[in-house]
Structure 1
Amino acid sequence: MQLLIAALTAVALVLMPVHAAKEVFAHMIVGNLPEFTLSDWEDDIRLAQASKIDAFVLNIAAKDPSNDKSLDLAFEAANALNFSLFFSFDYLAQGPWPQANVTALLQKFTPNPAYFKHQDNNNNNAGRSRPLVSTFEGPDSAADWPSIKAATDAFFVPDWSSKTASDAAALAGGVVDGLFSFNAWPDGAANMTTDGDRAFQAALAPQKKAYMMPVSPWFFTNLPGFDKNWLWRGDELWDGRWRQVMEVVPDFVQILTWNDYGESHYIGPVRKKELGLFTTAKAPLEYVKGVTHDGWRKFLPFYIEVYKTGKVPAEVEEGVAAYYRTAPALACPAGGTKGNNVDFGQTEVAPEGLVEDSVFYAALLKSDEGVTVTVSIGGKQQTGAFTRAPAAGAGTLGVYMGSVPLGENTGDVVVTVSRDGQTVATAEGGKGISTECENNVQNWNAVAV
């Protein structure tokens, strides 16, 4: 029997897909999914595949009783659909992971054909295939990882963003094979820059270690039971951040997140069965209910292709996506929400100072020549303009961005892009804009259609 198991394992290893760098992942909170069925896992994987995402990063907490069931279903679905998964050990949600438990879980799942393998060409590894492993925080447990890596051959790319990039790279004798930054949101009312990304690359470059860059569309959380209630600026963040990916050209990109509903930066679908945390954390409202973010997946295939190939494709399917908050900033009480977070060394500001009362739109076009944008709010129309063109300039193929103010308008939002009087694409179907306040509190989340 042992010989048979060894033979089957060897066959599985031969069949495992092996990946080089320039891969795109989406962070998935497994703790939100205790009621997920195999069909649910398969549905989400299909959506990720349609968006050209390479793998789900499974965030798992140390004491979550649903881990065993959820991981078994996840890997069953991934194997059936030829998709990849890998672990991010969460050292904050329920305390640090014991070293033995990390080793045991990796030894159980990394031989699985669906576990993501990275082809490591650094440090004379001659293209060795190694299972990619990450964390959410946990730098105080850095000393565990030399032994874990020795037992599992892990390609270790943690998020130790509570440390500076240079300090994190040096922990435990430089145990990391790369670093992931969780700093995906701007500080204050200014747009996101690449300064943090460049600092990580500079710290990792001397040893030729990998950098995993974060990309996120939004951030708002109001979970009193978890002592969380703040907003970070999300205006122009999603499409602007993908432009920065093309500038930085990191080894990997991780999308934050697929399903972190509590922090409003999900790009996956919203199912009622995933929203138990709003009750557990005593949220004043389910601020993701009826608030789709599907629009933020619209251009992922385009962005990912440009990131991986370094060039714009010759042909694209033209389209438009839009996002907006469902109430003007001062229409409802702020709900105790602060702008920025003093726990991160930031200066606290009023949340309305971080956001614009606008409808934002992005259009993937072969050219903007002859193109007009019309934004209807409750039937009242405005003509929009593009304020940002593709890197190659106006008249070229790529994503064009712009916005129009809400003004006093309420109702359903429809964004239409036309060329020479003919409709090219329309974005619509999201929750409308209203000055009526659910539970007398502002919902700082955004709709993306």
Structure 2
Amino acid sequence: MDLCAYGVVCSDARRTNDGPNGYTPLLRHYINSPAYSKVNGKPLISTYSSGGQTHDQIAAWKATVGPMYFVPDFDETQGYYDAADGWWAYWGDVVDGLFSWEAAWPKFGGFGGNFPGDISPDVTVMNGARTHGKAYMIAVSPLQYKNAYGTNVYRPGGTSLPQRLASILALPNPPEFVQFISWNDGPESHYVGNVWPEANPQVAVTPYSIYDHTGWQHLIQSFIQSYKGVTSPVEIAPGVMWYQTTLQSSICPHDSKPANFADGDDYVHWATFLPPSAGTCQVKIATASTVLGTHTVGPGASFGKTTFPTPAGVPIMEIINSVGRILAVASGGKPVSNGHPEGIYDMNYQVVAAKVVDD
């Protein structure tokens, strides 16, 4: 079972011997809570996959649970990403909307976008759903990296998160729901909140699955404001940067490179969220001894990336106003190096929120 969103139980029917029926007691325990997310008075329930279930099996399971607003991820089923008429003829009457897990990242195993942040696979499915009077829930994730349970895979992050959020906002009719997916199948690195050690007791994953990612919450909060049309200011950090400590040129003799390692990059990625009063500012990315790049930003949300060449060091981001005053600084992450202190090709991100500099 994956708790894919606050207040939404999102089940993986593969995990039990009796398919989704194995989750019925869990659902009944939570869906009547006043805190549980509901649509038109019905509990919102999603899935990670079809679990190999047929139309009739899904329909029978729904009947045992009772009324629900069902927005499953059936994106491994034939014709799904084409919004094929045959797909809708078979599945259409058991869904209230659709959710595309694999579209959150660039292609792997035949699923995903053409580049980090690409939403074109979602648009096709969403338009098909709208044609049939159904809703769409779009998946958002910073990256996917996991080196555990016999899987070592990387699907690029970079500026994928802010690019995907910006692309969602640019749609003339954005999707009805957005889900920030996190921590599926064990210690994947796209978590944006707290890391709970008891959720994963395997010692081998601790070298890369314990980094603080809460800085991404500021980016998400800025998006939520825009998505919901909130115009009143909200207190958020002025910016955040993130980067991987493993350079593309690194050689680690004790670990195999994850699948798609070559799609990684040597960049410091950043985003800023500035009030109208900030005016035009500069984002400076540097180490203690070298300025790596400067970028002009204005009020609102901006994002970009700066090359991080060798020799390696610890990145620092400064936000500087038009008169040269440093408004905020992001620092304190782990150094980037050609070495491998964790003994693995660590593709997880250091995520560092900027802190306002007092006058």
Q: TM-score range by the shorter chain?
A: 0.7 to 0.9
Instruction: Work out the percentage of aligned pairs sharing the same amino acid.
Output: 25
TM-score, normalization: structure 2? 0.82
CA distance 1:411–1:378, shift in 2 (3 Å): farther
Q: Does structure 1 residue 85 correspond to structure 2 residue 7?
A: yes
Per-residue deviation, 1:315: 7.4
The partner residue of 2:63 within 132, 135, 150 is: 150
Query: Match for residue 357 of structure 2?
Result: none
In structure 1, how many angstroms separate the alpha carbons of the residues matched to 2:199 and 2:234?
Answer: 38
Q: Does structure 1 residue 323 correspond to structure 2 residue 242?
A: yes
In structure 1, how many angstroms separate the alpha carbons of the residues matched to 2:141 and 2:183?
Answer: 10
In structure 2, how many angstroms separate the alpha carbons of the residues matched to 1:365 and 1:185?
Answer: 28
The partner residue of 1:262 within 176, 179, 187 is: 187
TM alignment of 1:125-144, pairs within 5 A:
129-138=41-50, 140-141=52-53, 142-144=55-57
Q: Does structure 1 residue 364 correspond to structure 2 residue 283?
A: no
In structure 2, how many angstroms separate the alpha carbons of the residues matched to 1:205 and 1:194?
Answer: 16
Answer yes or no: is the 8 Å Cα contact 1:180–1:214 preserved in 2: yes
Per-residue deviation, 1:194: 1.8
CA distance 1:372–1:137, shift in 2 (3 Å): same
Higher helix share: 1
Q: Does structure 1 residue 196 correspond to structure 2 residue 98?
A: no
Per-residue deviation, 1:299: 2.4
Query: Match for residue 98 of structure 2?
Result: 179
CA distance 1:318–1:431, shift in 2 (3 Å): closer
How many residue pairs get aligned? The number is 334
Per-residue deviation, 1:338: 4.1
Structure 1 residue runs of 5 or longer lacking an equivalent are: 1-27, 31-55, 58-83, 120-128, 341-350, 390-394
CA distance 1:105–1:374, shift in 2 (3 Å): closer
- Aligned amino acid, residue 229 of structure 1: N
Per-residue deviation, 1:414: 1.7
Task: Show CA shifts across 1:25-60 (max 9, x none).
Answer: xxx946xxxxxxxxxxxxxxxxxxxxxxxxx63xxx
Structure 2 residue runs of 5 or longer lacking an equivalent are: 109-113, 353-359
Answer yes or no: is the 8 Å Cα contact 1:318–1:366 preserved in 2: no
Q: Does structure 1 residue 373 correspond to structure 2 residue 289?
A: no
In structure 1, how many angstroms separate the alpha carbons of the residues matched to 2:33 and 2:39?
Answer: 14
CA distance 1:293–1:99, shift in 2 (3 Å): closer
CA distance 1:356–1:312, shift in 2 (3 Å): farther
In structure 2, how many angstroms separate the alpha carbons of the residues matched to 1:99 and 1:440?
Answer: 39
In structure 1, how many angstroms separate the alpha carbons of the residues matched to 2:214 and 2:32?
Answer: 33
Per-residue deviation, 1:307: 0.8
In structure 2, how many angstroms separate the alpha carbons of the residues matched to 1:337 and 1:171?
Answer: 41
CA distance 1:190–1:307, shift in 2 (3 Å): same
TM-score, normalization: structure 1? 0.67
In structure 2, how many angstroms separate the alpha carbons of the residues matched to 1:86 and 1:421?
Answer: 47
In structure 1, how many angstroms separate the alpha carbons of the residues matched to 2:12 and 2:44?
Answer: 15
Task: Show CA shifts across 1:52-108 (max 9, x none).
Answer: xxxx63xxxxxxxxxxxxxxxxxxxxxxxxxx612111123x345445444443334
Answer yes or no: is the 8 Å Cα contact 1:259–1:267 preserved in 2: no
- Aligned amino acid, residue 117 of structure 2: M
Runs of 4+ in 1 over 6 A off after TM superposition: none
CA distance 1:148–1:173, shift in 2 (3 Å): same
CA RMSD of aligned residues (A): 2.8
In structure 2, how many angstroms separate the alpha carbons of the residues matched to 1:172 and 1:180?
Answer: 13
Further displaced range: 132-141 or 366-375: 366-375
In structure 1, how many angstroms separate the alpha carbons of the residues matched to 2:293 and 2:231?
Answer: 28
- Aligned amino acid, residue 255 of structure 1: F
